[in-house]
Structure 1
């Protein structure tokens, strides 16, 4: 039994040892597999991390490259735009230089022609002097033969004989000189005189430089003047307008060159009279109130005008100047209404001719814009208007229309010609300049009567609203030289017997019609002098 127990124990131990060995081998194998899997996972994670780092680095590098590329392209575009602007500026300057060069060439050609004409006139004058000296010598010889004449009588006879011949010869000489300078002289003289009358000489332009304010009673004159003249001085300093208090009952007069300042003064004075309290403080308050009211009125007038004409993109300075024309008058004609009328007429003609209607209206509306600032500035309204248009970057055709409508520049586009024509139509039509029909008819009739009063005149016609008369003479009674003398005599008589604004052109027409007939043909020739 003991032997059997030992064998069983030994077998059990051997089996246990074998089982333990198998278990150990299994555990060892499991541990190896676990470590291998962990190692594989670490390697896989390391690979993923490395791939992520690689992708992030690639994206970052790509983003940096894209940013640098965009910055480079932006810099290139800016340089291209700058180069384009410089190129356009150079092209504009080249065009301006070419225009100036062409104008200089034209002026040089005109100067050469004038110099040539002056030389011809000098030669003609020399020959005329020689001829006059010869005639005087001949007359003196004739007078010496007359024994019964005194020296004074001889001189009188000589002057009488030479008067007609010398007058005709002088007219011919004057004609040559006048034709050369006529266009420029008339334009410059008209511009200077009109500018001086409109802007300065208030004694001669009462209607455009004075405003009146009615008073409830005479006691308000004392209130307006104030103690020792304090109130009236304060009012004049605040408005820049002179207050005239005279013997006219219940009325005061406001005088000033600036129509806007005059309107502000009128409203301020009405506010003061209505408030019945006039002192230094209330004067400044009412002037400020009136200034705001007039500014609103200017803005409203400009907006309504632009809306009515459908004109957009107008610079604020141009808009303000346009509104100020509401208070500006020229020869009694309201300049804002005149500008609107010119804009409509120019636009209508542009539509008929197929041009830009909106641009024609714009040029017509702004052609006299300089008159809105001419009261407070040096220079003509044309120069001031051009400066304002250039400062506001107006269209070139608009600027050219401002110059061309007073012939201070050649038209660069047909629209400029249309604006000039529209301006003349608006200014010269009957009734445009506060002229009643009766007064207009009387002036026309008077002009025709003056022309018909001269001997040898067949018929006289007043045209262009009385700005021009055309005198038809009988060719068998009036020679060409006498026709030139007649135009001067008629103009002198008009100046002596009539009052009129601006100028009147006297045109004398002498026409000779010669007709010839043969068996084979008929030849008619018309000559006009």
Structure 2
């Protein structure tokens, strides 16, 4: 019982202690909370004051910026207003100036109107006086106005024609003098800068032998060796009493060269019979063909000409064995090519094209076949066949006037060809035969009625015939030139071709005293 009381008492005491402790802790918590609240209030007041100060600073900044912006806008507005006032003043001044000018113009217009009226009156009066004067002139002269105009126009036409003819003649004379002087200068310079050697034209080749015993071996038994040699080469072999010489005769220089070389090998070898002859001739022909091609290539390289067709190169090489009037054709073509290049350079043209045309201008003289065409036309066709340029083809075909010249290369090639062939020492011909041929040409043309004078020029390549204007008409000159050309072809022997030019002119001579 006592224990239970003690237990109950202990429990009650514990409860009482707990309650007291609870109230004490509650009182302490309230005191701590009050302290915290007071601290928070103080901190809030501090923060509030800071924020208020920041807000005031921001407000001051915004107000300051607003004041500055407003000040700038006010200044701009004032400047714009000032400019507007200046512009307004200028416009007012301009308006005043315009008004003043308008008043001046009105005054000038009034003055001009008055003068125009006065001029109109004077013009009417002048027209009236002119009509009266015209009527008086018609009455005195007995001519109407239209008739007088026609006579005046005719008189002025005649005077103008006379003055124009005199002026044109002066210009033409001056141009001819200048052109002739410049052309002579260029030609002389070209000739001085180019020179080449010459060769004598032969239709026979003399083959020298050591002794006359070899002649019998060359002839062979019953002439079989010489017949085989002539058949293989196409050359006539003349074995006569001429000591230590055999004559090879033929018009083709390439064949003569083949025959000469073959005969030389046969004589050196000592074996001369028909089979051996055919073998040697075939071998020599191949060697000569190779030499021809090599000569053509070397010539093209020496002249700086590239891109020639192989067949054209072969024809250039064949020129080495061809001569004309004693002038080697290859040397003549090389000289013409160099002259063309020099002259083209002097005239500001392409020297490479000119050199090419000069080299190829006589390829019509060395064709493989013999067509019935002048060598200039044949050369032009060959150049066209092997894709040469049109101006080069024309220069080849026109260098003897067979076709019309269409480029400046053509007259250059023509002139240089004449220079190369006409210079002293370039070509050889028996003087008597040459003079006789020229004289025969002139006499043949003089035999026609109406012919006054004849001149054989350009070494007999051209015949100029001067006829009387009162004896032959213009239509008859064409007929006369054709008749003379036909008669020359039928009755004369001449190299190349002859150009016949018939000249008919009327001359009027007057003397100013």
The structure having more radius of gyration, on CA atoms, is 2
